[in-house]
Amino acid sequence: MPDPKHCLHRGQRGVNTRFSGCTSGMEHRRLGKSGIKVSVLSFGSWVTFGDQLDIAKATESMQAAWDAGVTFFDNAEAYAGGQSETIMGEVLRRMGLDRKTYTISTKLFWGITDGPNTKNTLNRKYLMEGIDGSLERLGLDHVDLLFCHRSDPETPMEEVVWAMSDIIAQGKAYYWGTSEWTGAEYKEACEVAARLNLRAPVMEQPQYNLFERHKVETDYADIYDTHGMGLTTWSPLASGLLTGKYSDGIPEGSRGSLPSYSWLQDRLTDEQALGKVRELGAIADELGASLAQLSIAWCAANPHVSSVITGASRVEQVHHNMEAAALIPSMTPDVMHRIDAIFG
């Protein structure tokens, strides 16, 4: 008998089950117009796997997320130069999960080997070979979701859509989408797919948090209904700014302290932004939540967001972040209005 904490409520035919829940309390939402459902909170490996977490610690964190009801895990070819996929693949083997019970995504564009056709591209050669490399590192025969990690102005959209459609036809991915594309680029991909009778994208993975809202709330505004776009959003805590831990500088061991992320330091110590975080803290206190939990719940309160991708450098952060799921019903119109008054 399957573990009830990971069951998905099917709903009745003809009934809107976009926000149907799981009996564990972890809600699962339809990914846009597609039939697949993803946990409203998911767990991703950007920055942490390979940089801050070895296999043992990554296993501990993914197990904690799974135990909290997370069934969607996000990755990308470029994370830690491919090492992130290798670590996640090993963790999945150690956890011994039934492949049918979880959803995995990866992303292609940046590349991990030097060459004219292997970096910063979406040409057919790269995509067809890139997915094979990702699957080998993950130790899987398919991923559920495959994203084009950025757009590529040098490759014709027809070539991109053909390649992604062929990857799906080969069973190496079940759905494809985009990450950080403009609304116009996403629409073009959908129009090409319709014209050539190919597979259209069904999801986009943009940055979305209280400091970064334009794409989700403005640029994509008409696409949710016209093309059924679903969102798996990243950086709900604005690289840690919305946790409040940078209020007194950059702590040792934090993301902002990593040499490879020195470009974040000015943003993390911006006094105007920190002032807004302090104001948000008062609302969090009223709700009996942390800044991190409130910020994650705010993202999930957007009806167009299918899943909020969380990350963690310690298992304690996983436990803490997962508690945001219980806070989502507290995102009332009044609370949302008060938050908008600070960040709007």
The residues assigned a catalytic role are 79
Would the CA dihedral through 68, 71, 72, 77 be positive or negative? positive
Q: Is the Cβ–Cβ distance between 73 and 88 less than 8 Å?
A: yes
3-state secondary structure of 167: helix
Using CA atoms, how far apart are residues 74 and 88, in angstroms rounded to an integer? 9
Using CA atoms, how far apart are residues 133 and 77, in angstroms rounded to an integer? 8
Residues contacting 248, CB < 8 A, separation 6+: none
Residues contacting 178, CB < 8 A, separation 6+: 147, 148, 151, 185, 186, 189, 201, 203, 204, 205
Q: How many CB atoms lie within 10 A of CB 170?
A: 12
Name the DSSP letter for residue 235: -
Encoding tokens for residue 269? 């110590």
Task: Supply angle C-alpha 8, 9, 12, rounded to 5.
Answer: 140
- H-helix segments, the chain: 55-67, 83-95, 124-138, 157-169, 183-196, 214, 223-226, 265-268, 271-287, 291-300, 315-322, 333-343
Place of tokens 């991923």: 143
